């Protein structure tokens, strides 16, 4: 993996004159997570170039309570109108469970109570939406790695696909996918709480994923099922996600 100084020199080269004028400022920028995140998408670097400038194991920046946005806005679906979802919501999700299956040894169902009883992680992070807004929120949930430890993915499993409850205006259901590097990342959690309270419906209740080094559209809300697959192209002959099927990059991170 490249050292942070080689990453800095890459960034200085990539940003040439702009960085030469304000070297110290550029050093500071390159040490934060969001700078490479924006570089990776704005400059249309491909995935291998992104991998070569930043370790896949690096952590997204975490913040403090003082940094929390006054309100964490909602984007995309804010209340799925799927009848099965509405029935679950009417009963505070007491009858909801997460199905985890596909290429696994132990297909399993996780109720909210079961998820809440597992190890939890709380992290304060910044969410960046490609539509041009960001917000800092405090998320609590189960590391996805712990859920995967229960279901035991097969050696051939390469991606986790998140199947969601909401159907978009064009009739397609929202879904997303990540590779297992990101699925096992310590900051990848299945979040059931936001800012110390049960996750609001507007932000994905009862469960949404946080994949902190990627952009907002990867962070599937209203998750009903996680499927382990060898290729995400087998999902509806698609490109790995609702927005990816409409032209967005599958790899939306550093």
Ligand X SMILES: Nc1nc2c(c(=O)[nH]1)N[C@H]1C(S)=C(S)[C@@H](COP(=O)(O)O)O[C@H]1N2
Does 210 contact ligand X by CB under 6 A? Answer: no
If one asks whether residue 166 binds ligand X (CB under 6 A), the answer comes out as: yes
Binding status of residue 242 toward Mo ion by CB under 5 A: no
The pairs formed by 154-157 with CB atoms below 8 angstroms and a separation of 24 or more are 154/103, 154/104, 154/105, 154/228, 156/103, 156/230, 157/102, 157/103, 157/104, 157/228, 157/229, 157/230
- Compare residues 216 and 253 and give the one whose CB is closer to Mo ion: 216
Q: Does 143 interact with Mo ion (rule: CB under 5 A)? A: no
Selected from 222, 232, 250, 251, the binder of ligand X by CB under 6 A is 222
In the complex with ligand X, the residue whose CB is nearer, 110 or 175, is: 175
Q: Which is nearer to ligand X, 55 or 69 (CB)?
A: 69
The distance of closest approach from Cβ of residue 107 to Mo ion in the complex, given in angstroms and rounded to an integer, is: 31
Tokens encoding 73: 């806005």
Q: Which of 85, 96, 217, 222 binds Mo ion (CB under 5 A)?
A: 217
- Would you count residue 164 as binding ligand X (CB under 6 A)? yes
C-alpha to C-alpha distances, 30 to 62, 130, 170, nearest whole angstrom: 16, 20, 39
CA distance 110 to 222: 14
Q: Which stretch binds ligand X (CB under 6 A): 21-29, 90-98, 111-119, 213-221?
A: 213-221
Picked from Mo ion, ligand X, none, the partner binding residue 182 (CB below 5 to 8 A depending on kind) is none
Strands 189-194 and 197-198: antiparallel
For residue 181, what are its two tokens?
């590097």
Report d(CA 120, CA 199) in Å as an integer. 14
Q: Is there binding between residue 129 and ligand X (CB under 6 A)?
A: yes
- By CB under 5 A, tell whether 141 contacts Mo ion: no
The secondary structure of the chain in percent helix, strand, coil, rounded to multiples of 5, reads 35, 25, 40
Q: Could you tell which of ligand X, Mo ion, none binds residue 220, using a CB distance below 5 to 8 A set by kind? A: ligand X
- Map residues 8-47 to x or -, x wherever contact with Mo ion holds by CB under 5 A: ----------------------------------------
Per CB under 5 A, does 129 bind Mo ion? yes
**CA 212 – CA 253 distance, rounded (Å):** 9
Give whole-number Cα distances, 221 to 27, 66, 80, 174, in Å: 35, 26, 10, 9
**Site residues (vs ligand X, CB under 6 A):** 73-77, 129, 164, 166, 174, 203-204, 216-217, 219-222
């Amino acid at each position: 993996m490249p050292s942070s100084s080689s990453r800095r020199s890459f960034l200085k080269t990539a940003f040439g004159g702009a960085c030469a004028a304000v070297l110290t400022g550029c050093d500071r920028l390159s040490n934060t997570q969001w700078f490479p995140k924006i570089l990776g998408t704005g400059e249309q670097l491909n995935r291998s170039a992104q991998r070569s400038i930043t370790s896949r194991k690096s952590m997204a920046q975490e913040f403090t309570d003082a940094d929390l946005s006054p309100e964490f806005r909602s984007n995309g679906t804010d209340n799925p109108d799927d009848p099965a979802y509405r029935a679950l919501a009417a009963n505070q999700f007491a009858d909801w469970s997460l199905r985890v299956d596909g290429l696994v040894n132990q297909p399993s169902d996780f109720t909210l109570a079961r998820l809440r009883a597992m190890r939890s992680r709380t992290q304060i992070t910044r969410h960046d939406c490609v539509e041009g807004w960001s917000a800092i929120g405090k998320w609590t949930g189960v590391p996805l790695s712990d859920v995967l430890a229960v279901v035991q993915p097969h050696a051939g499993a390469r991606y986790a696909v998140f199947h969601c409850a909401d159907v978009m205006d064009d009739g397609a259901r929202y879904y997303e996918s990540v590779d297992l590097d990101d699925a096992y990342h310590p900051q990848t959690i299945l979040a059931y709480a936001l800012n110390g309270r049960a996750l609001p419906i507007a932000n994905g209740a009862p469960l949404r994923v946080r994949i902190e080094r990627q952009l907002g559209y990867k962070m599937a809300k209203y998750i009903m099922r996680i499927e382990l697959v060898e290729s995400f192209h087998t999902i509806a002959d698609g490109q790995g996600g609702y927005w990816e099927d409409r032209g967005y990059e599958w790899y939306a991170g550093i």
